């Protein structure tokens, strides 16, 4: 394999992974997603005893960080394992990437410090927006 082929393959994998992450994020945040939208995600955080963390992302103050391990506790290892397998990633790698992205993303999607009354929209509504945000990273 030539150097050009190696670079092309790496770029292609990155683009596929970013697209996959956009799908994962929209699945977590969309009203018709697996968790029932941002409100469902907030419920998962509350059930895991980490409601103050997600509330900081929605509010107008500083965003509290979350580790990949903490996010695994919130979302469940089974869910992360299934999604990571679909993306060809290790679950720890996926939870690490999501934990780095989710606070800022939720913050950007809730600029007024509150969840929009109708939620964030359905998966189709979020995919284009999330793809654009991920390309900025």
Question: CA distances (Å), 132 to each of 40, 49, 59, 91, 111, in order?
Answer: 24, 32, 23, 24, 17
Q: What is the pTM of this model?
A: 0.79
Tokens found for residue 6: 């190696």
Interatomic CA distance for residues 119 and 45, integer angstroms: 17
74 in a domain, yes or no?
yes
Expressed as residue numbers, the domain containing 120 is 27-136
Q: How confident is the model at residue 8 (pLDDT cuts 50, 70, 90)?
A: very low
Number of compact structural domains in the chain: 1
pLDDT of residue 13: 45
61 in a domain, yes or no?
yes
Tell whether the model's pLDDT for residue 48 goes beyond 80: yes
Per residue in 55-97, pLDDT (tens digit) is 999 999 999 999 999 999 999 988 889 888 888 889 999 899 8
Given a contact cutoff of 8 angstroms between Cβ atoms, the answer to whether 120 and 36 are in contact is no
pLDDT of residue 59: 93
């Amino acid at each position: 394999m030539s150097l050009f082929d190696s670079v092309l393959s790496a770029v292609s994998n990155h683009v596929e992974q970013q697209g996959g992450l956009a799908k994962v994020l929209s699945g977590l945040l969309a009203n018709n997603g697996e968790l029932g939208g941002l409100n469902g995600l907030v419920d998962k955080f509350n059930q895991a005893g980490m409601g103050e963390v997600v509330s900081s992302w929605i509010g107008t103050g500083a965003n509290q960080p979350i580790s990949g391990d903490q996010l695994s506790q919130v979302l469940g290892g089974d869910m992360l394992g299934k999604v990571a397998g679909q993306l060809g990633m290790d679950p720890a790698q996926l939870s690490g990437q999501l934990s780095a992205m989710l606070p800022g993303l939720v913050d950007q999607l809730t600029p007024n410090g509150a969840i929009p009354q109708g939620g964030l929209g359905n998966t189709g509504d979020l995919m284009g927006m999330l793809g654009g945000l991920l390309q900025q990273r």
